[in-house]
């Protein structure tokens, strides 16, 4: 499966909040597959993990949103 960028994860969170009633995790996975041109849809557990970290993505700086992984640099 292709890894989502932080910006794409943020879009999943925003889509979940913007739909009434909110999309189910299965619907969000289908939406993400179509929206981002993925070869496979993200698993339900991936969507769940993204939604649990919503606050982190909302507060993330713009330059970090395009990253696919969050690195912790220890200096």
**Does the residue 1 lie in any domain?**
no
User: For 47-60, what is each residue's pLDDT tens digit?
Assistant: 999 999 999 988 88
Residues in Cβ contact with 45 at an 8 Å cutoff, skipping those fewer than 6 apart: none
* Domain count for the chain: 1
- pTM for the model stands at 0.80
User: For 57-71, what is each residue's pLDDT tens digit?
Assistant: 888 877 677 666 665
User: For 20-38, what is each residue's pLDDT tens digit?
Assistant: 898 999 999 999 999 999 9
**Does the residue 17 lie in any domain?**
yes
**Does the residue 43 lie in any domain?**
yes
**Does the residue 16 lie in any domain?**
yes
Domain that holds residue 56: 6-73
């Amino acid at each position: 499966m292709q890894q989502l960028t932080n910006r794409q994860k943020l879009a999943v969170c925003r889509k979940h909040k913007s739909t009434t009633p909110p999309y189910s995790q299965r619907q969000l996975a289908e939406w993400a597959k179509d929206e981002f041109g993925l070869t496979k849809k993200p698993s339900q557990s991936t969507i769940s993990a993204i939604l649990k970290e919503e606050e982190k993505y909302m507060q993330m700086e713009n330059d970090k949103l395009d990253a696919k992984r969050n690195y912790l640099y220890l200096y």
